[in-house]
Amino acid sequence: MFADFLKRLTDPAPVQMPDADARLALTALLVRVARSDNDYSTAERTRIQNIISARYALNATARDALLADAETLETEAPDTVRFTRAIKDAVAYDDRLAVVEALWKVALADGERAEEEDALLRLVVSLLGVTDVDSANARRRIEG
């Protein structure tokens, strides 16, 4: 279903993504972090729904459609390194920084810091080209 999208995303010379594609890729990344500890909880799913509703001004129907597509894309997407690097190349820094904050919201949604989520977040933040300081500040805003 997403073969053309993934091909465009992982093209050796990516171009700036259209907003709809960026939304889908970034939401799939949120899902990937939520699933990283093999416990995609209701709290994490609800947190993702809240993030994408607010971030993209979506009604419930559009939000649920985006999340369903993102959940499917996440299972079909290449390994995290290729997938995240492709997002980095196609999405502006400010948007990537906002995504890091959203990733922390998802990782902390269930009230626990799972080692798998922490490890994946460290990798993803680095691959997105977001500094450790910016990531730590984002985490503090969420925890605070």
| Measured distance CA(123)–CA(19) in Å, rounded | 24
Domain harbouring 120, CATH code: 1.10.3680.10
Instruction: With a cut of 70, say whether residue 13 has pLDDT above it.
Output: no
Residue 82 lies in a domain: yes
Instruction: With a cut of 80, say whether residue 134 has pLDDT above it.
Output: yes
Q: Residue 1: which pLDDT band, with cuts at 50, 70 and 90? A: low
| Measured distance CA(49)–CA(66) in Å, rounded | 9
Give this prediction's pTM. 0.82
Q: Is 41 left (phi over 0), alpha (psi -120 to 50) or beta?
A: beta
Residue 42 lies in a domain: yes
Q: Where are the alpha helices (DSSP H) in 36-131?
A: 42-56, 60-76, 80-90, 93-107, 115-127
How many domains, the chain?
1
Residue 122 lies in a domain: yes
Q: 15: buried, middle or exposed (CB in 10 Å: 19+, 13-18, 0-12)?
A: exposed
What's the CA dihedral at 47, 50, 81, 12 to 10 degrees?
170
What's the CA dihedral at 8, 35, 107, 53 to 10 degrees?
60
Q: What is the pLDDT of residue 27?
A: 92
Residue-wise pLDDT tens digits, 76-117: 887 888 778 777 877 788 888 888 999 999 888 888 778 888
Residue 14 lies in a domain: no
| CA angle centred on 35, ends 32 and 37, rounded to 5° | 125
Q: Residue 7: which pLDDT band, with cuts at 50, 70 and 90? A: confident
Residue-wise pLDDT tens digits, 22-62: 888 889 999 999 998 898 999 999 999 999 999 899 999 99
Residue 37 lies in a domain: yes
Q: What is the pLDDT of residue 9?
A: 67
Residues 6 or more apart whose Cβ sits within 8 Å of residue 79:
none
Residue 11 lies in a domain: no
What is the span of the domain harbouring residue 139? 19-143
Instruction: With a cut of 80, say whether residue 138 has pLDDT above it.
Output: yes
Residue 30 lies in a domain: yes
Residue 6 lies in a domain: no
Instruction: With a cut of 70, say whether residue 68 has pLDDT above it.
Output: yes
Task: Supply 101's token pair.
Answer: 């904050």
